[in-house]
Protein backbone atom coordinates (compact mmCIF):
# COMPACT_ATOMS: atom_id res chain seq x y z
CA UNK A 1 0.00 0.00 0.00
CA UNK A 2 1.35 3.45 -0.92
CA UNK A 3 2.33 5.79 1.91
CA UNK A 4 1.66 9.57 1.74
CA UNK A 5 4.25 11.63 -0.11
CA UNK A 6 5.04 15.29 -0.72
CA UNK A 7 4.86 17.22 -3.94
CA UNK A 8 6.87 20.35 -4.72
CA UNK A 9 3.85 22.36 -3.53
CA UNK A 10 3.27 20.58 -0.23
CA UNK A 11 6.77 20.48 1.28
CA UNK A 12 6.72 21.30 5.00
CA UNK A 13 9.55 21.80 7.50
CA UNK A 14 10.73 18.45 8.88
CA UNK A 15 9.93 17.97 12.59
CA UNK A 16 12.58 15.21 12.89
CA UNK A 17 15.67 14.33 10.82
CA UNK A 18 14.31 13.43 7.39
CA UNK A 19 15.83 11.76 4.34
CA UNK A 20 13.95 12.22 1.06
CA UNK A 21 13.36 9.99 -1.91
CA UNK A 22 12.70 12.11 -5.01
CA UNK A 23 10.93 10.13 -7.73
CA UNK A 24 7.62 9.72 -9.52
CA UNK A 25 5.60 7.26 -7.40
CA UNK A 26 7.80 6.99 -4.32
CA UNK A 27 4.99 5.99 -1.95
CA UNK A 28 4.76 2.49 -3.40
CA UNK A 29 8.50 1.76 -3.48
CA UNK A 30 9.83 -1.07 -1.35
CA UNK A 31 12.32 1.35 0.21
CA UNK A 32 9.41 2.71 2.29
CA UNK A 33 9.56 -0.55 4.26
CA UNK A 34 13.29 -1.14 3.95
CA UNK A 35 14.55 2.24 5.17
CA UNK A 36 12.98 2.14 8.67
CA UNK A 37 14.48 -1.33 9.21
CA UNK A 38 17.89 -0.21 7.96
CA UNK A 39 17.74 2.99 10.06
CA UNK A 40 17.15 0.93 13.17
CA UNK A 41 19.99 -1.46 12.29
CA UNK A 42 22.41 1.38 11.48
CA UNK A 43 21.37 3.48 14.50
CA UNK A 44 20.10 6.37 12.35
CA UNK A 45 17.57 8.69 13.94
CA UNK A 46 15.81 9.55 10.70
CA UNK A 47 12.65 8.93 8.69
CA UNK A 48 12.21 8.58 4.92
CA UNK A 49 9.72 10.76 3.05
CA UNK A 50 8.93 10.61 -0.66
CA UNK A 51 8.70 13.66 -2.90
CA UNK A 52 6.76 12.90 -6.10
CA UNK A 53 7.31 15.00 -9.18
CA UNK A 54 5.86 14.31 -12.64
CA UNK A 55 8.25 13.16 -15.38
CA UNK A 56 10.13 16.18 -16.76
CA UNK A 57 8.67 18.44 -14.08
CA UNK A 58 8.91 22.25 -14.42
CA UNK A 59 12.34 23.62 -13.55
CA UNK A 60 10.75 25.72 -10.78
CA UNK A 61 9.64 22.54 -8.99
CA UNK A 62 13.16 21.09 -9.00
CA UNK A 63 14.54 24.36 -7.69
CA UNK A 64 11.89 24.56 -4.97
CA UNK A 65 12.73 21.04 -3.77
CA UNK A 66 16.48 21.65 -3.71
CA UNK A 67 16.09 25.03 -1.98
CA UNK A 68 13.76 23.48 0.58
CA UNK A 69 16.26 20.73 1.47
CA UNK A 70 19.07 23.30 1.58
CA UNK A 71 17.21 25.67 3.93
CA UNK A 72 15.34 23.26 6.21
CA UNK A 73 17.60 22.32 9.15
CA UNK A 74 16.27 18.78 9.73
CA UNK A 75 16.08 17.85 6.05
CA UNK A 76 19.27 15.82 5.72
CA UNK A 77 19.44 15.04 2.01
CA UNK A 78 17.88 12.93 -0.72
CA UNK A 79 18.22 10.08 -3.15
CA UNK A 80 17.11 11.12 -6.63
CA UNK A 81 15.74 8.64 -9.12
CA UNK A 82 14.19 9.24 -12.58
CA UNK A 83 14.77 13.04 -12.29
CA UNK A 84 18.57 12.77 -12.05
CA UNK A 85 19.27 14.69 -15.26
CA UNK A 86 16.32 17.13 -15.13
CA UNK A 87 16.97 18.09 -11.50
CA UNK A 88 20.65 18.67 -12.16
CA UNK A 89 19.92 20.79 -15.22
CA UNK A 90 17.31 22.89 -13.44
CA UNK A 91 19.02 23.30 -10.07
CA UNK A 92 22.70 22.42 -10.48
CA UNK A 93 23.72 26.01 -9.70
CA UNK A 94 22.18 25.77 -6.21
CA UNK A 95 24.83 23.30 -5.02
CA UNK A 96 27.96 24.50 -3.26
CA UNK A 97 29.82 21.36 -4.37
CA UNK A 98 29.28 19.12 -7.39
CA UNK A 99 31.32 15.91 -7.56
CA UNK A 100 33.35 14.78 -10.58
CA UNK A 101 30.81 12.19 -11.77
CA UNK A 102 27.85 14.56 -11.48
CA UNK A 103 29.70 17.08 -13.62
CA UNK A 104 30.85 14.47 -16.14
CA UNK A 105 27.46 12.79 -16.47
CA UNK A 106 25.32 15.89 -16.04
CA UNK A 107 23.13 14.31 -13.37
CA UNK A 108 22.77 13.82 -9.64
CA UNK A 109 21.40 10.88 -7.66
CA UNK A 110 22.46 12.11 -4.21
CA UNK A 111 21.86 15.40 -2.36
CA UNK A 112 23.62 15.82 0.97
CA UNK A 113 24.91 18.51 3.36
CA UNK A 114 28.40 18.77 4.74
CA UNK A 115 29.64 21.56 7.02
CA UNK A 116 26.72 23.73 6.01
CA UNK A 117 27.38 23.22 2.30
CA UNK A 118 24.92 21.66 -0.11
CA UNK A 119 26.57 18.87 -2.10
CA UNK A 120 25.50 16.70 -5.02
CA UNK A 121 27.00 13.44 -6.24
CA UNK A 122 26.31 11.04 -9.06
CA UNK A 123 26.61 7.69 -7.30
CA UNK A 124 25.67 5.34 -10.16
CA UNK A 125 29.26 4.81 -11.36
CA UNK A 126 30.14 3.62 -7.86
CA UNK A 127 27.00 1.60 -7.13
CA UNK A 128 26.80 -0.05 -10.56
CA UNK A 129 30.53 -0.81 -10.31
CA UNK A 130 30.08 -2.49 -6.94
CA UNK A 131 27.19 -4.51 -8.34
CA UNK A 132 29.21 -5.58 -11.42
CA UNK A 133 32.19 -6.56 -9.29
CA UNK A 134 29.92 -8.75 -7.15
CA UNK A 135 29.18 -11.14 -10.03
CA UNK A 136 31.97 -10.68 -12.59
CA UNK A 137 35.01 -12.59 -11.32
CA UNK A 138 38.23 -10.57 -11.17
CA UNK A 139 40.30 -11.35 -14.28
CA UNK A 140 37.23 -12.33 -16.34
CA UNK A 141 38.12 -10.05 -19.27
CA UNK A 142 41.70 -11.31 -19.31
CA UNK A 143 40.43 -14.89 -19.51
CA UNK A 144 38.15 -13.89 -22.41
CA UNK A 145 40.19 -11.22 -24.22
CA UNK A 146 37.74 -10.99 -27.13
CA UNK A 147 34.63 -10.71 -24.94
CA UNK A 148 32.53 -7.56 -25.25
CA UNK A 149 29.67 -5.81 -23.48
CA UNK A 150 26.30 -5.27 -25.14
CA UNK A 151 24.14 -2.88 -23.15
CA UNK A 152 20.62 -2.37 -24.44
CA UNK A 153 19.28 1.04 -23.38
CA UNK A 154 21.41 4.20 -23.55
CA UNK A 155 20.32 5.84 -20.30
CA UNK A 156 22.04 6.83 -17.09
CA UNK A 157 22.84 3.29 -16.02
CA UNK A 158 24.64 2.47 -19.25
CA UNK A 159 26.69 5.66 -18.90
CA UNK A 160 27.75 4.60 -15.39
CA UNK A 161 28.42 0.95 -16.31
CA UNK A 162 30.46 1.90 -19.36
CA UNK A 163 32.63 4.22 -17.25
CA UNK A 164 33.29 1.49 -14.68
CA UNK A 165 34.20 -1.28 -17.11
CA UNK A 166 36.44 0.75 -19.40
CA UNK A 167 38.63 2.57 -16.86
CA UNK A 168 42.29 2.41 -17.80
CA UNK A 169 43.05 1.63 -14.15
CA UNK A 170 41.56 -1.85 -14.75
CA UNK A 171 44.53 -2.67 -16.98
CA UNK A 172 43.82 -5.71 -19.16
CA UNK A 173 40.72 -6.63 -17.15
CA UNK A 174 38.50 -4.68 -19.53
CA UNK A 175 36.11 -5.78 -22.29
CA UNK A 176 37.39 -5.69 -25.88
CA UNK A 177 34.55 -3.33 -26.88
CA UNK A 178 31.51 -1.71 -25.27
CA UNK A 179 28.46 -1.77 -27.53
CA UNK A 180 25.31 0.20 -26.69
CA UNK A 181 22.07 -0.47 -28.56
CA UNK A 182 19.12 1.90 -28.24
CA UNK A 183 15.72 2.27 -29.88
CA UNK A 184 16.24 5.97 -30.69
CA UNK A 185 19.20 8.20 -31.56
CA UNK A 186 19.31 11.13 -29.07
CA UNK A 187 20.55 9.16 -26.04
CA UNK A 188 23.15 7.44 -28.21
CA UNK A 189 24.46 10.87 -29.22
CA UNK A 190 24.58 11.97 -25.58
CA UNK A 191 26.42 8.78 -24.62
CA UNK A 192 28.97 9.37 -27.37
CA UNK A 193 29.60 12.87 -25.98
CA UNK A 194 30.15 11.50 -22.46
CA UNK A 195 32.45 8.76 -23.77
CA UNK A 196 34.50 11.32 -25.67
CA UNK A 197 35.46 12.83 -22.29
CA UNK A 198 36.61 9.52 -20.80
CA UNK A 199 40.28 8.72 -20.49
CA UNK A 200 40.10 5.24 -22.05
CA UNK A 201 41.13 3.47 -25.26
CA UNK A 202 38.33 0.89 -25.08
CA UNK A 203 36.37 1.13 -28.35
CA UNK A 204 32.68 2.12 -28.07
CA UNK A 205 30.00 1.25 -30.61
CA UNK A 206 26.55 2.83 -30.87
CA UNK A 207 23.82 0.81 -32.53
CA UNK A 208 20.41 2.22 -33.39
CA UNK A 209 18.14 -0.79 -32.97
CA UNK A 210 14.43 -0.17 -32.94
CA UNK A 211 13.52 -3.87 -32.88
CA UNK A 212 14.20 -6.87 -30.63
CA UNK A 213 15.26 -8.85 -33.73
CA UNK A 214 18.04 -6.33 -34.29
CA UNK A 215 19.19 -6.77 -30.70
CA UNK A 216 19.11 -10.57 -31.13
CA UNK A 217 21.52 -10.24 -34.05
CA UNK A 218 23.94 -8.06 -32.08
CA UNK A 219 23.86 -10.31 -29.00
CA UNK A 220 24.16 -13.50 -31.08
CA UNK A 221 27.32 -12.21 -32.76
CA UNK A 222 29.32 -11.68 -29.54
CA UNK A 223 32.22 -13.94 -28.52
CA UNK A 224 32.28 -16.29 -25.53
CA UNK A 225 32.38 -14.61 -22.13
CA UNK A 226 30.56 -11.44 -23.26
CA UNK A 227 28.26 -9.48 -20.94
CA UNK A 228 24.69 -8.72 -22.06
CA UNK A 229 22.73 -6.09 -20.10
CA UNK A 230 19.07 -5.10 -20.15
CA UNK A 231 19.23 -1.41 -19.26
CA UNK A 232 16.00 -0.50 -21.05
CA UNK A 233 13.65 -0.97 -18.11
CA UNK A 234 11.58 -3.35 -20.30
CA UNK A 235 10.09 -5.96 -17.99
CA UNK A 236 9.48 -3.43 -15.21
CA UNK A 237 8.84 0.10 -16.49
CA UNK A 238 7.07 -1.31 -19.58
CA UNK A 239 6.16 -4.86 -20.56
CA UNK A 240 8.43 -7.05 -22.68
CA UNK A 241 12.11 -7.65 -23.31
CA UNK A 242 14.57 -6.00 -25.69
CA UNK A 243 15.24 -9.52 -27.12
CA UNK A 244 13.09 -12.26 -28.65
CA UNK A 245 13.03 -15.84 -27.39
CA UNK A 246 15.12 -16.79 -30.42
CA UNK A 247 18.19 -14.93 -29.11
CA UNK A 248 21.40 -16.92 -28.56
CA UNK A 249 23.35 -15.62 -25.57
CA UNK A 250 27.17 -15.89 -25.79
CA UNK A 251 28.58 -19.14 -24.37
CA UNK A 252 30.10 -18.62 -20.90
CA UNK A 253 28.31 -15.27 -21.00
CA UNK A 254 27.28 -12.94 -18.21
CA UNK A 255 23.69 -11.67 -18.31
CA UNK A 256 22.53 -8.75 -16.17
CA UNK A 257 18.97 -7.52 -15.78
CA UNK A 258 19.14 -4.18 -13.93
CA UNK A 259 15.77 -4.63 -12.24
CA UNK A 260 14.80 -7.18 -9.63
CA UNK A 261 11.03 -6.95 -9.65
CA UNK A 262 8.47 -6.93 -12.41
CA UNK A 263 7.65 -9.29 -15.21
CA UNK A 264 11.33 -9.82 -16.06
CA UNK A 265 11.07 -11.64 -19.38
CA UNK A 266 14.71 -10.89 -20.25
CA UNK A 267 15.75 -12.74 -17.10
CA UNK A 268 13.54 -15.70 -18.05
CA UNK A 269 15.08 -15.76 -21.54
CA UNK A 270 18.55 -15.95 -20.01
CA UNK A 271 17.57 -18.59 -17.44
CA UNK A 272 16.14 -20.76 -20.20
CA UNK A 273 19.66 -20.96 -21.71
CA UNK A 274 21.61 -20.81 -18.45
CA UNK A 275 22.65 -24.46 -18.25
CA UNK A 276 23.11 -25.14 -21.95
CA UNK A 277 25.21 -22.04 -22.63
CA UNK A 278 26.84 -21.89 -19.20
CA UNK A 279 25.59 -18.41 -18.32
CA UNK A 280 25.95 -16.35 -15.17
CA UNK A 281 22.57 -14.66 -14.72
CA UNK A 282 22.17 -11.74 -12.33
CA UNK A 283 19.24 -9.47 -11.44
CA UNK A 284 19.25 -5.93 -9.99
CA UNK A 285 18.93 -6.72 -6.29
CA UNK A 286 22.57 -6.07 -5.36
CA UNK A 287 22.51 -2.93 -7.54
CA UNK A 288 19.46 -1.72 -5.58
CA UNK A 289 21.26 -2.33 -2.28
CA UNK A 290 24.40 -0.47 -3.36
CA UNK A 291 22.41 2.37 -4.91
CA UNK A 292 20.65 3.12 -1.63
CA UNK A 293 23.47 2.39 0.80
CA UNK A 294 25.94 4.59 -1.11
CA UNK A 295 23.54 7.54 -0.81
CA UNK A 296 22.62 6.82 2.82
CA UNK A 297 26.33 6.69 3.68
CA UNK A 298 26.88 10.10 2.06
CA UNK A 299 23.81 11.78 3.58
CA UNK A 300 24.43 10.52 7.13
CA UNK A 301 28.25 10.60 6.93
CA UNK A 302 28.69 6.96 7.83
CA UNK A 303 30.68 4.13 6.28
CA UNK A 304 28.42 1.31 5.15
CA UNK A 305 30.18 -1.95 4.21
CA UNK A 306 30.07 -2.76 0.49
CA UNK A 307 30.65 -6.51 0.98
CA UNK A 308 30.97 -9.15 3.69
CA UNK A 309 28.79 -9.79 6.75
CA UNK A 310 27.83 -6.11 7.28
CA UNK A 311 26.50 -5.84 3.72
CA UNK A 312 24.85 -9.27 3.89
CA UNK A 313 23.01 -8.17 7.05
CA UNK A 314 21.55 -5.15 5.21
CA UNK A 315 20.56 -7.39 2.31
CA UNK A 316 18.82 -9.83 4.63
CA UNK A 317 16.99 -7.04 6.49
CA UNK A 318 15.77 -5.69 3.15
CA UNK A 319 14.66 -9.16 2.00
CA UNK A 320 12.76 -9.69 5.24
CA UNK A 321 10.58 -6.66 4.49
CA UNK A 322 9.49 -7.99 1.09
Ligand X SMILES: NC(=O)c1ccc[n+]([C@@H]2O[C@H](COP(=O)([O-])OP(=O)(O)OC[C@H]3O[C@@H](n4cnc5c(N)ncnc54)[C@H](OP(=O)(O)O)[C@@H]3O)[C@@H](O)[C@H]2O)c1
Would you tell me which residues interact with ligand X (CB under 6 A)?
153-158, 182-184, 187, 231-234, 236-238, 242, 258-260, 284, 287-288, 291
Other Cβ atoms less than 10 A from the Cβ of 280: the count is 17
Q: Which is nearer to ligand X, 75 or 108 (CB)?
A: 108
Is residue 188 within 8 Å of residue 154, measured between CB atoms? Answer: yes
Q: Which is nearer to ligand X, 252 or 263 (CB)?
A: 263
Other Cβ atoms less than 10 A from the Cβ of 276: the count is 9
Q: Which is nearer to ligand X, 55 or 138 (CB)?
A: 55
Q: How far is the CB of 26 from ligand X (least distance, A)?
A: 13
Q: How far is the CB of 288 from ligand X (least distance, A)?
A: 3
Q: Which is nearer to ligand X, 139 or 240 (CB)?
A: 240
Q: How far is the CB of 260 from ligand X (least distance, A)?
A: 6
Q: Which is nearer to ligand X, 20 or 287 (CB)?
A: 287
Q: Which is nearer to ligand X, 113 or 187 (CB)?
A: 187
Other Cβ atoms less than 10 A from the Cβ of 32: the count is 19
Q: How far is the CB of 132 from ligand X (least distance, A)?
A: 12
Is residue 18 within 8 Å of residue 74, measured between CB atoms? Answer: yes
DSSP conformation letters of 72-117: -TTEEEEEE-S-HHHHHHHHGGG-SEE-HHHHHHT--SEEEEETTE
- The residue with its CB nearest to ligand X is 155
Is residue 147 within 8 Å of residue 224, measured between CB atoms? Answer: yes
Helix (H, G, I), strand (E, B) or coil at 280: strand
Q: How far is the CB of 139 from ligand X (least distance, A)?
A: 25
Q: How far is the CB of 233 from ligand X (least distance, A)?
A: 3
Q: Which is nearer to ligand X, 5 or 29 (CB)?
A: 29
Angle between helices 59-71 and 84-91 (to 10 degrees): 80
| Residue 13: C-alpha distances to residues 52, 73, 197, 257, 296 (Å) | 16, 8, 40, 39, 20
Please give the backbone phi and psi of residue 53, each rounded to the nearest 5 degrees, phi first. -125, 145
Q: How far is the CB of 264 from ligand X (least distance, A)?
A: 10
DSSP 19: E
Amino acid sequence: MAVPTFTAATLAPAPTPTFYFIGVTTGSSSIQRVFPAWAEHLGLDAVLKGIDLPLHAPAADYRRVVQFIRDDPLSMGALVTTHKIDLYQAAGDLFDEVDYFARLMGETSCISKRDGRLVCHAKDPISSGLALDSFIPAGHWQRYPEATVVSMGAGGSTIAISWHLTQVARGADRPARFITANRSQPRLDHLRQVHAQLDTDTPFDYVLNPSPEGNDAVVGAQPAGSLVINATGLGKDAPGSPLTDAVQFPVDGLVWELNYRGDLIFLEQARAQQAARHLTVEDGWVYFLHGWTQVIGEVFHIDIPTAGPGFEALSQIARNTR
